[in-house]
Amino acid sequence: MDFLSLFLMDFVKQLQSPTLAFLIGGMIIAALGSELVIPESICTIIVFMLLTKIGLTGGIAIRNSNLTEMVLPMIFAVIVGILVVFIARYTLAKLPKVKVVDAIATGGLFGAVSGSTMAAGLTLLEEEKIPFEAWAGALYPFMDIPALVTAIVVANIYLNKKKRKELAYSSESFNKQPVAAGDYSDQQDYPGSRQEYLSQQQPTDNRVKIWPIIEESLRGPALSAMLLGLALGIFAQPETVYKSFYDPLFRGLLSILMLVMGMEAWSRIGELRKVAQWYVVYSVIAPFVHGLIAFGLGMIAHYATGFSWGGVVILAVIASSSSDISGPPTLRAGIPSANPSAYIGASTAIGTPVAIGLCIPFFLGLAQALSGN
């Protein structure tokens, strides 16, 4: 019961913390139909600032720390990222009315990491004065990229298999040669029907190329800001600008971002309702399951290499988070046939609020209870 009371106390305290309060505030004003608009360019700069700050913190920490300590948590981050996609493939995808590609994309997004959730977790640990490895934020890409790559590869393998099966069934309509681009006769017009249009599509290359996916996620706004910060932290001496600019602004900007996330979460709920209800169940349960897996692995690292409890919490928080910023465009490009309303709705409308509002205090309480603090 010790754990439960700790959790409840933390939870009530969390409701009052700026992070969650702004998130809920955003949801409420969006529900009331507020016309408040935070310009998109401001969100872009906030995301940049937050992730650069996290990168800088990690980079400065890595410069002064023992790299061998990082190996095990990094391996665990990669394992969680990949595992999450397969969990979705074999649970969510099997549920009625859920399309397999949509489920895989949802798994990829839940495996990927949300910079804002991680920032909220780091802020709370600082507020609670729980020590953690400053480089723990640098685990981000080690979970994010494997999850997105796995999701895109698994989805494309599935789609190719499905396409081959369909080809085997209806071979006669494919006797027409697909028209090469730029080589149209004058009579060639738009396809008359959707069927004909689909049959014109050239069968895609069966091999999924992994490097372009990695390249795309590295070039995404979130990861490039974070990795830039990391590199600057390691190779330059950014301490002065860090102390005077990035660090003091961090929490204020995070509160604005939380407000926007709350508003966006509300506006996405409607879209989610149009897909299947199973997404709602999945996006409530999945953050806890993923977080617990990471928490368990983190504990192994704790006993094996002395990874701190704060670090274990961060690993669990990034596992329970689902990407809002860099993941969606990567998946949209990588699995075009998946319905973005399904995966973005599940992640933004439910996954992120659950991760920030419930999972962060839950894992914090769990760590406090287990460490006997």
Partner 1 sequence: MAKPAKKLVIVTEKILLKKIAKIIEESGASGYTVLETGGKGSRNVRSSGQPSVSDTTANIKFEVLTPDRLMAQNIANRVAREFFTDYAGMIYLCDAEVLYGESFCGPEGCGI
Residues forming the site for partner 1 (CB under 8 A): 36-38, 40, 43, 47, 116, 181-182, 184, 186, 188-190, 197-198, 200-201, 257, 260-261, 263-264, 267, 271, 324-326, 328-329, 332-333, 336-337, 340-341, 344
- Smallest distance, partner 1 to C-beta of residue 163, A: 12
Non-local CB neighbours of 146 within 8 Å, separated by 6+ positions: 78, 81, 82, 111
Nearer to partner 1, 34 or 237 (CB): 34
Nearer to partner 1, 197 or 235 (CB): 197
- Smallest distance, partner 1 to C-beta of residue 257, A: 7
How far apart (Å, rounded) are the C-alpha atoms in residues 102 and 207? Answer: 20
- Smallest distance, partner 1 to C-beta of residue 237, A: 31
Nearest residue to 318 (alpha-carbon basis) of 295, 342, 340: 295
Nearer to partner 1, 206 or 337 (CB): 337
Nearer to partner 1, 147 or 263 (CB): 263
Nearer to partner 1, 43 or 157 (CB): 43
Nearer to partner 1, 172 or 186 (CB): 186
Q: Give just the sign of the alpha carbon dihedral 300, 305, 308, 312.
A: negative
- Smallest distance, partner 1 to C-beta of residue 117, A: 12
- Smallest distance, partner 1 to C-beta of residue 268, A: 10
Nearer to partner 1, 224 or 267 (CB): 267
Nearer to partner 1, 201 or 371 (CB): 201
- Smallest distance, partner 1 to C-beta of residue 40, A: 6
Nearest residue to 117 (alpha-carbon basis) of 373, 372, 371, 363: 363
In degrees and rounded to multiples of 5, residue 34 shows phi and psi of -60, 150
SS (H, E, C) the chain: CHHHHHHHHHHHHHHHCHHHHHHHHHHHHHHCCCCCCCCHHHHHHHHHHHHHHHHHHHHHHHHCCCCHHHHHHHHHHHHHHHHHHHHHHHCHHHCCCCCHHHHHHHHHHHHCCCHHHHHHHHHHHHHCCCCCCHHHHHHHHHHHHHHHHHHHHHHHHHHHHHHHHHHHHCCHHHCCCCCCCCCCCCCCCCCCCHHHHHHHCCCCCCCCCHHHHHHHHHHCHHHHHHHHHHHHHHHCCCHHHHHHHHHHHHHHHHHHHHHHHHHHHHHHHHHHHHCCCHHHHHHHHHHHHHHHHHHHHHHHHHHHHCCCHHHHHHHHHHHHCCCCCCHHHHHHHHCCCCCHHHHHHHHHHHHHHHHHHHHHHHHHHHHHHHHCC
- Smallest distance, partner 1 to C-beta of residue 98, A: 18
Nearer to partner 1, 65 or 200 (CB): 200
Nearer to partner 1, 10 or 216 (CB): 216
How far apart (Å, rounded) are the C-alpha atoms in residues 321 and 287? Answer: 6
- Smallest distance, partner 1 to C-beta of residue 202, A: 9
How far apart (Å, rounded) are the C-alpha atoms in residues 121 and 143? Answer: 16
- Smallest distance, partner 1 to C-beta of residue 106, A: 14
- Smallest distance, partner 1 to C-beta of residue 164, A: 18
